[in-house]
Amino acid sequence: MPLPKKPTNVKILTGTARADRLNPNEPKPDIAIPSFPDHLSKPAKAEWRRVTKELKDMGLICRLDRAAMAAYCSAYGAWVDAENALQNDGMVTVTPNGLVVQSAWLQIRNKSLEQMHKFAVEFGFTPASRSKVSAAKPDPVNDELAEYMARGQRNRKTL
């Protein structure tokens, strides 16, 4: 399965962007924290508040990211619930027939961790994904993307 394409701002921040391969008409949504989804669990809401502010400060979130961020936070909430249940109930259960089986909470925990990881990579939450991004706090006066695109356009005109 091929890797997903990187957004232009990530290509620029990682130094892999080429002016001749960028879409000059790519939408550039304003940096903003999306509206808060009411359906999240208590731990998921806490995670939303924790990560969205940091992402905004780094210029890596916009209102369009609401569903993806809600999905990440929902997986986080399920993970917390599963971890708490595992601490109380253990990793195995005994069936009425006397068989020892893996707890359903262990499966929920593992699936939630898998989902969290996928979203975490998309948002740059992991050390490996973060190491590929060199993001400074957004500066409305010095928009790196606009500057880069302008340089690329000037270079093409001289060819």
Q: Which pLDDT band, with edges at 50, 70 and 90, does 22 fall under?
A: confident
pTM given for the model: 0.70
Tell me, what's the pLDDT at 74?
A: 98
Q: How confident is the model at residue 126 (pLDDT cuts 50, 70, 90)?
A: confident
Kindly provide the residue ranges of all beta strands, DSSP E only, lying in 8-83, ordered along the sequence: none
Residue 81 has pLDDT above 60, yes or no: yes
Q: What is the pLDDT of residue 10?
A: 67
Report the percentage of the chain scoring pLDDT > 70: 74
* Rounded alpha-carbon distances, angstroms, from residue 128 to 26, 74, 89, 121, 125: 26, 23, 34, 8, 9
> What is the pLDDT, as a whole number, of residue 2?
61
CB neighbours (10 Å) of residue 149? 20
